[in-house]
Amino acid sequence: MTGRLNSAQPYALGLFRIVIGLLFTCHGAKTLFGVLGGVDGQGATASAGTWPGWYAAVIQLVGGALVLLGLGTRGAAFIASGAMAYAYFKVHQPQALWPVENGGEAAAFYCWAMFLLIFTGSGALGLDQLLAKRHASSPGKTATSKAPVTA
């Protein structure tokens, strides 16, 4: 049983990445474009350039899309995790200690989910993996030897 679970691990990780990326992208789209109820449930958006909401939404939209696609997953997850840590400690935590009390559950969850992806990478089903395989098997790729240069 363990062997089957281990062989499915890259696919489970890939599905985890896709779901987290999709949900994170939805948060950014909600804030920037007013879809899915907007920031107030009535379709309102964050004013362009306002700190920190508009910038967080850009990170959510772009970072979430990159994570969703599995393209530059580790870098996008690093920035997204940091943005959510900032959101938790600067916006939510001053209101109360625990996320369940201060409304910061989503920020804490996304921070840790993205943090995990920094170390695991995209898993299966990501563009990173597809591009790496395509590059490795591209025709005309020759092996180069590292012979010492002599004068």
For the chain, give every domain's residue range.
2-136
pLDDT digits (tens, 9 = 90+) for 77-128: 999 999 999 999 999 999 999 999 999 999 999 999 999 999 999 999 899 8
Looking at residue 130, what is its pLDDT? 84
Looking at residue 144, what is its pLDDT? 53
The CA angle 118-124-129, to the nearest 5 degrees, is 80
Nearest to 16 by CA among 115, 103, 134, 130: 115
Q: How confident is the model at residue 11 (pLDDT cuts 50, 70, 90)?
A: very high
Looking at residue 151, what is its pLDDT? 47
Q: At what angle do helices 105-120 and 73-86 cross, to 10 degrees?
A: 150
Structure pTM? Answer: 0.83
* Between 44 and 26, the higher pLDDT residue: 26
The SS3 assignment for 112 reads helix
